Amino acid sequence: MADKRSVGHAYNVDFLNVVFAASSIFLFVTTILMVWDDYDRQWKDYQRRFVELELEVTRAGLAAAQTDVDQTQLAELQAQRAQAEAERDASQDQIDALQGQLEGVEADLFLTNQEFQSTKAVYDAERYEFEELQEEHPEEAESERAAIDEMFQHWLDLGLQVERLTADRDGIRAQIGEFTNQVTEIEAQVRELTSETTRHGDRVADLQPSLVNDLILNAPLLDFMAPTITVRQIITPAIVDDVNFIRVAKMDRCTTCHLAIDREGYEEYPQPFRTHSNIEAYVGSASPHPVGQFGCTVCHEGMGQSLTFRHSSHTPEGEEQTLAWEHDLDWEEPHLWDFPMLPTNMTEASCAKCHQETVFIPEGPKLSMAYGLYERAGCYACHKTRGFEDLRRPGPSLTKIDSKLERDWVARWIREPRAIKSSTWMPRIWYNSNTSSPEDAVRNEAEIDAVVAYLFASSENHEFAVSSPTRGDPERGREIVESVGCLACHVAGDEDRLDAGPRRTFGQPLQNIGSKTTFEWLFDWVRDPRHFSAGTYMPDLRLTDREVGDVATYLETLVGADGDGPRASYTDADVTAILTDYLRSIVPTDEANATVAAMSAEERQLELGRRAIGRYGCYSCHEISGFEDTQPIGIELSEEGTKLIARLDFAFVHEIPHTKVEWFKQKLRDPRIYDRSRVLQPLEKLRMPNYEFSEEETTLLATAIMSFQSEVQPLASQAPRSARHDALREGRNLVRRRNCVACHEIEADGGDYLQLVDDAALAPPLLTPEGAKVKPDWLYAFLRGPITIRPWLDVRMPTFGLEDDHWNGVIDYFAAISDVVGPFRTHEVEPEPGVIRTGEELFDLLRCQQCHVLDTIPEDQPTDNLAPDLRMAQERLQPDWILDWLVAPLEIQPGTRMPMFWTEYPGSLYPQFDADGIRQIESVRDYLLTFRGGPSPLTGN
Amino acid sequence: MADELKPETPPAGKPKPTAGAAPSARPARAVPPPPNPALAGRTTSAAAKAPVAKRAKPAAADDTSPLMSRRGWLGLSWGAFTAATAGCLAATGRFMFPNVLNEPPQQFTIGFPDEYADGVDERWKDRFGVWIVRTSFDTVHEAPGFYALFSICTHLGCTPNWLAAENKFKCPCHGSGFRPTGVNFEGPAPRPLERTRIVMAEDGQILIDKSRKYQSELGQWTDPESFLEV
Amino acid sequence: MDLIKAFINLFADPRLFFVMSVVALAVIVWKRELFSKDAVGYGMLGFLAVFFGFGLFDENFRLIVVKPDNVPIVALIFLVVFFTWYSIREGVLNDRRIAAGDDPIEKQESDRVWVWPDLVYTELIALILCTAILIVWSVGLEAPLEQPANPANTPNPSKAPWYFLGLQEMLVYFDPWLAGVVLPSLIIVGLMAIPYVDTNPKGNGYYTFRERKVEITIFLFGFLVLWSSLIVLGTFLRGPNWNFFGPFEYWDIHKLEPLTNVQLSDFIWVRMLGQPLPEHWFIREVFGIILTLAYVAVLPPLLARMFRRYYEKLGATRFYVTAMLFLMMLSLPVKMLTRWIFNLKYVVSIPEFFFNI
């Protein structure tokens, strides 16, 4: 039994005291650790570094501003000020006296004004009551009227007093001003002179390290009051995040570390302190996307709310940067954010969130190029994509293949297209990475021959327009091909596909065309493409039959590689087996066997060809008989950019980074790679063909795919919609889908033809100002039937033979670029008699005819100095535009040879009209408009 | 371990009183004990007269603490514990002030000066809660320029309306009236409307900073950043 | 090293894992004298430490262990192992003393507990240390902030918190009604019933084994084998698609395993009797129903006859309650075994009423 009075202990208390002390100290230390861990953040370090950087930059700016200040002027002004101050000081007594007066007057004014205002308030109230009284009890009101009127009068009197006192006060002020004004003015001038230095100096003072700022205001636990190092965030109500259950305003905290992103002057510094690139188009306050309204993640993706480098899911660009980030910044592949940041070179994929249904975005060159490649490769043909519906089939029609090609050539072609034409857009369908084994080779060969058999068996007949065309001069033919404009759409040599670009590969490569087809077919085609293929986009170059013969003869000489021959042999038993395999997937095996057994060898081959075409989707790119309405085989890509990565099957390809972008790029590099190491039946294998994309093409196409996203952003944040914007959008799409931009530069894009000529003057003209420049009806007539405007040019505008909606689309587009008022513009030219004569005088004085064609091409002029026929001016040009052109040609058409005659505009170096440049120009314009008889599309001249 | 959980044996020498044992005889208090030579001179009265010599407090007889005294250890322990608790409370207090709030920004640009005419401009009232006033002569700064007023009535916080026809701000809640300058002149408002900080941004636009306010009755309207001279 | 890993991966097979844990329990109970040696205790902890230490070098293992959610499990393994060993050891020590005629160790202490300052002071110290350790833990292991929840995207694998992993494992073998409602309720009811059905006065306030052999064994079976080891299994050995993966195996979402399971009614009617399944559910499931009824109605009396001593000691009510609870508890391993051996899915399957056993 324990002794209640004994002093026993279960533990040695002194020992417990030590343990208590140790654990309390441990707790204290962990509390400090906790507070410190919460306080010590990565972004605070960046902000501290930036303050130092900003100080440095601002000091440099201060130094620069100080050197800009005109010291002599400043000294002068300061001397003046000193003198003015001395003068003012001399009259100090007078100023003081006036000041005393002023104070008295101001006091009176204040009191009177107060009384005035309160009287008004009282009067208003009284008046209201009176009005009420008048309404309710008009008889009683009369007695009150006098009082109201008196009150009103009193108020007016007070008002008069106020006015007088105010006048007095202003008078005294003016008197004082006479003494002090000069000083004030000079001080204002000094301030203006030193405004930049003052601003910089103030900022430098602000940024100086200070004890209070750095140690107290930003200290742990004390930094809730007024920290100088704070989280910066941008909340964008009009731009939303889709968090699956709701859409919320974006909250981007990127500017916490990227502190100079919208400030000029930091372009040379390393991230995160670098200015945004192209700040006039993005992020700058004067740009269409100011950062305060758009934030950052709408374009760059990533987790905007995060404040650490890692969790924001920054994505490195390339191996080198990945390793550097892993080493220096503790970077890991982001797994915890569905939409990691786009690699910097793919940021333009986000433009499509707001700039929809368009294939050209100004200031978005990579995306525009990506869409160009997307259309050229014909991805939209197999993969339905929003914005690319109802486009034509990207490949030529195969319905009349018999009159064009030989079976053997077709078999070699489809076996390996790039062996015959290295820059072709036709992909390889057989012998890809999952169909290259010897068993596959047998199957491939059987299918290739079967497809060829089917195409030829279903081919229609075609009668050539000219039955026995005569051959011409191949040398002449080569000159024509190289000068008349064929090379704008067709590559003739073995140029790289990406170097040539999507515009110059609009048409088939001409490489090896001589071994591909016959002279007769070439003649028929070049003479009138529509005769062979009614829906072709190839225009009519208005060549004479002789020229056609020359061209066809030249093309016939382009022979070369024969392509790949068969790599395996097969028997009828193989055909039977493969066909049965196809049929077994739709009917029971016994029935399939029976059906196949009942066919002849030829029937089997044709049926196999039909099945193979149906499986590989050839009909999506080529018109093929029997497949007019068949659905394409690819999945829809309209929202592929928003797809979750969990939906993409990486299979056994584990060596690539586990991101969406890498999956797409790998798929584009080798579409069959995700079948690697898998055991699959032939009909289970992947079937996307291989285009042999280069690395840049892969990156660009991945950018395009990432731009296909689900529509999340509200209408308020979309690109503005108006008739003008619709016209711009339609027009931009049109001039790319018909390849106008291959020849003509429009809106700072296109004009690929310039790569083919030495002299810019030998290329087709710039069309950006066309809307302001030419009359619409003239343009319409010209587009329908082009005439020669610049006779020294060999390259000619083809006859496209399009429909009215195309032409109107183009004309509206040009009008929208120049933002003109409309197709109908009034211009009454009622020149006075002397004006035309003066215009003629100036015309001769300035020697316009030295360069401008006027019925004859001027001699002794190099071609790059020649200029269009002025006789067309009246019919063709907008009169107001001629004025703009004469004033500043280089602003309208950079690179033009047209001199600027009126350098002193609105003055003038010439004497006419008392050196009045405006009237001179008008007179020249009026004179020009009197010319008649030039070439005209309207009259078919 | 169980083996160590033995109770400490009571100090030897103290007999356990068992039931039935005769209480040890206590000698009657007959003879006072002989005076202790060591205690000579150390009577209470003597101590009262003698100066108090500084001597260390004797440690308790059973204080077996290593290094420091028991008091020392306990002091240290409770000190550290209190410090930790205070630290946690301070951290909790700090927690109540978020580092960042999901609010419209306090600083924003409102355009260029030439986009504003003289007088009161209401275009930012709904979004940012300020009126922009351009005057040709401000009485405080005696210069033309801009100032921005918080659209918060100084009476009880309602939003006044600008009545252009009567050239005054009028609060609908209790009738407070303010001049275009912000000065209160009618109704229960005790003081003028507050002005915000207004400066020129680097790109030439006007920058409003609502995180700083200037109150007339405190003489703060003379602050150069409460008025933008243009 | 790879050989060892492959060997361990083999052991991750659920059958082996479960059987091994039952065998381990049997060894612990049967050879408890040996088990209670200090060397065994420290040796087990040391082995675990070495295992985890070396395992951390393997990427797949590290991904499991270092995940903040799984840190408690790692701690749990160490703590459960330690406390099992400790309590067995204490029990063995006390059993020795009792066998020698002595009182158990705890009896030597007074029946009063020193509260002030001993208990309170140590509680304060424990509180302080606990707080400090939690602070360090929360500072060191950050809870990740993941992407906004997407109803269209289920994480793979989707694991319950560790304290429910045992139940999630049960869901593999039982219908959700049973595994999620009935059996967990019975666990709680069973725990509540223990004071009422346990009439053994021995072992009250002191460690022992021999004096409470049956009770302790049953409890250890339920706690160690059916709860803790299933948690460990669910943490380390279950991967994407709730497939089994060895602790050093890469979690490939494409791994496929045949999970062809058959109902009891299929077995009997189709395979054994060669007949098509009857239309009406009662006839179809009559065998399963009989089996289940036998399990709950016939087995207890049988057990009463077999364990007459206990029957008499506890009395009818208590015995039958205990027997029922015990049988319910045993139904989980029984079900697991029948699944593994016979690919048996449900004993009774009545999809018409969403009722399956």
At B173, which CATH number?
Answer: 2.102.10.10
C103 and C222 assigned to the same domain: yes
Please classify residue A598 by burial: count the beta carbons closer than 10 Å to its beta carbon, then call 0-12 exposed, 13-18 middle and 19+ buried: exposed
* Inter-residue contact B171 to B158 (CB < 8 Å): yes
Within-domain flag for C176? no
C21 and C122 assigned to the same domain: yes
Domain span holding position B153: 107-229
DSSP letter string, A690-731: B----HHHHHHHHHHHHT-----S-GGGSPP--HHHHHHHHH
Please classify residue A940 by burial: count the beta carbons closer than 10 Å to its beta carbon, then call 0-12 exposed, 13-18 middle and 19+ buried: exposed
Residue A190 burial (CB count, 10 A)? 17
* Separation of alpha carbons C106 and C203, rounded Å: 11
Within-domain flag for B132? yes
C13 and C53 assigned to the same domain: yes
* Separation of alpha carbons C38 and C45, rounded Å: 11
Contacts of A758 (CB under 8 A, 6+ apart): none
B-chain CB neighbours of A221 within 8 Å are 90-91, 93-94
Distances in Å between the Cα of B148 and the Cα atoms of A176, A559, B105, B180, B209 are 30, 79, 16, 11, 10
Within-domain flag for B76? no
Write down the pLDDT at residue B60: 66
SS3 content of chain B, % helix, strand, coil (to 5): 25, 20, 55
Within-domain flag for B209? yes
* Inter-residue contact B151 to B160 (CB < 8 Å): yes
Within-domain flag for B65? no
C280 and C133 assigned to the same domain: no
C-chain CB neighbours of B10 within 8 Å are none
Q: C106: nearest CA in chain B? A: B2
* Inter-residue contact C216 to C198 (CB < 8 Å): no
B112 touches chain A (CB under 8 A): no
Within-domain flag for B34? no
Contacting subunits of C (3+ beta carbon pairs below 8 A) = A, B
A246 touches chain C (CB under 8 A): no
Q: Does A23 sit within 8 Å of C132, measured CB to CB?
A: yes
Tell me how many domains chain C contains. Answer: 2
Q: How far is A650 from chain B (nearest CA, A)?
A: 39
Of A121, A221, A292, the CB nearest to B90: A221
C-chain CB neighbours of B81 within 8 Å are 128
C223 and C333 assigned to the same domain: no
At B148, which amino acid appears?
Answer: A
A37 touches chain C (CB under 8 A): yes
C71 and C220 assigned to the same domain: yes
Q: How far is C323 from chain A (nearest CA, A)?
A: 41
* Inter-residue contact A896 to A889 (CB < 8 Å): yes
B-chain CB neighbours of A9 within 8 Å are 7-8
Residues β-bridged to residue A790: none
Q: Does B6 sit within 8 Å of C106, measured CB to CB?
A: no
Q: Does B16 sit within 8 Å of A24, measured CB to CB?
A: no
Q: Does A244 sit within 8 Å of C136, measured CB to CB?
A: no
* Inter-residue contact C277 to C265 (CB < 8 Å): yes
* Inter-residue contact A555 to A513 (CB < 8 Å): yes
Within-domain flag for C177? no
The distance from CA B136 to its chain's CA centroid, rounded to whole angstroms, is: 43
Residue C4 burial (CB count, 10 A)? 10
A-chain CB neighbours of B186 within 8 Å are 121
Write down the pLDDT at residue B137: 86
Tell me how many domains chain B contains. Answer: 1
Q: How far is C152 from chain A (nearest CA, A)?
A: 9
Residues in B whose CB is inside 8 Å of some CB of C read 2-3, 5-7, 81
Q: Does B81 sit within 8 Å of C109, measured CB to CB?
A: no
HEC secondary structure over A162-199: HHHHHHHHHHHHHHHHHHHHHHHHHHHHHHHHCHHHHH
Share of chain B above pLDDT 70, in %: 73
Q: Does B91 sit within 8 Å of A221, measured CB to CB?
A: yes
Q: Which helix (H) or strand (E) holds C13?
A: none
B215 touches chain A (CB under 8 A): no
Write down the pLDDT at residue A424: 93
C210 and C130 assigned to the same domain: yes
* Separation of alpha carbons A102 and A920, rounded Å: 60
* Inter-residue contact A26 to C132 (CB < 8 Å): yes
B-chain CB neighbours of A58 within 8 Å are none
* Inter-residue contact A876 to A778 (CB < 8 Å): yes
Write down the pLDDT at residue A88: 84
* Separation of alpha carbons A710 and A639, rounded Å: 5
Q: How far is C243 from chain A (nearest CA, A)?
A: 18
Within-domain flag for B203? yes
Q: Does A6 sit within 8 Å of B10, measured CB to CB?
A: yes
Q: C91: nearest CA in chain B? A: B2
* Separation of alpha carbons A549 and A538, rounded Å: 18
C96 and C237 assigned to the same domain: yes
User: Which DSSP symbol is given to C344?
Assistant: B
Condensed to tens digits (0 to 9), the pLDDT of residues B17-38 reads 444 444 444 544 555 555 555 5
Q: Does B6 sit within 8 Å of C128, measured CB to CB?
A: no
Q: Sign of torsion, CA B186 B187 B188 B194? A: negative
Write down the pLDDT at residue A811: 95
Within-domain flag for C150? no
CB pairs under 8 A between A and C: 79
Write down the pLDDT at residue A247: 93
In the numeric block, which tokens belong to residue A765?
């003209």
Domain span holding position C303: 264-356
Q: How far is B5 from chain A (nearest CA, A)?
A: 7
B124 touches chain A (CB under 8 A): no
* Separation of alpha carbons A430 and A414, rounded Å: 8
Report yes or no on whether pTM surpasses 0.90. no
Q: Sign of torsion, CA A413 A419 A421 A424? A: positive
C289 and C234 assigned to the same domain: no
Within-domain flag for C193? no
SS3 content of chain C, % helix, strand, coil (to 5): 70, 0, 25
C272 and C333 assigned to the same domain: yes
Contacting subunits of A (3+ beta carbon pairs below 8 A) = B, C
Within-domain flag for C112? no
Within-domain flag for B167? yes
Contacts of C228 (CB under 8 A, 6+ apart): C76, C80
Write down the pLDDT at residue B32: 58
B97 touches chain A (CB under 8 A): yes
Of C105, C110, C128, the CB nearest to B2: C105
Owner of token pair 């077919």: A521
Residue B56 has pLDDT above 80, yes or no: no
* Separation of alpha carbons C147 and A736, rounded Å: 40
* Separation of alpha carbons A162 and A115, rounded Å: 10
Within-domain flag for B9? no
Kindly give the parts of chain C with pLDDT less than 70.
Answer: 110
* Separation of alpha carbons A676 and A261, rounded Å: 45
CB pairs under 8 A between A and B: 95
What would you measure as the largest C-alpha separation in chain C, in angstroms?
77
Write down the pLDDT at residue B3: 43
Q: A230: nearest CA in chain B? A: B99
Q: Phi/psi of residue C346, each to 5°?
A: -130, 140
C286 and C238 assigned to the same domain: no
* Inter-residue contact A448 to A430 (CB < 8 Å): yes
* Inter-residue contact A285 to A277 (CB < 8 Å): no
C126 and C270 assigned to the same domain: no
At A61, which amino acid appears?
Answer: G
A644 touches chain C (CB under 8 A): yes
* Inter-residue contact A350 to A342 (CB < 8 Å): yes
* Separation of alpha carbons A618 and A330, rounded Å: 49
B-chain CB neighbours of C93 within 8 Å are 2
Distances in Å between the Cα of A151 and the Cα atoms of A136, A147, A268 are 22, 6, 73
A33 touches chain C (CB under 8 A): yes
Kindly give the parts of chain A with pLDDT less than 70.
Answer: 1-8, 829, 940-941
Q: Sign of torsion, CA A33 A34 A37 A38? A: negative
As a dihedral over the C-alpha atoms of residue B7, residue B8, residue B10, residue B12, rounded to 10 degrees, the angle is 140
C-alpha atoms less than 13 angstroms from C-alpha of C138 in its C-beta half-sphere = 11
At A757, which amino acid appears?
Answer: V
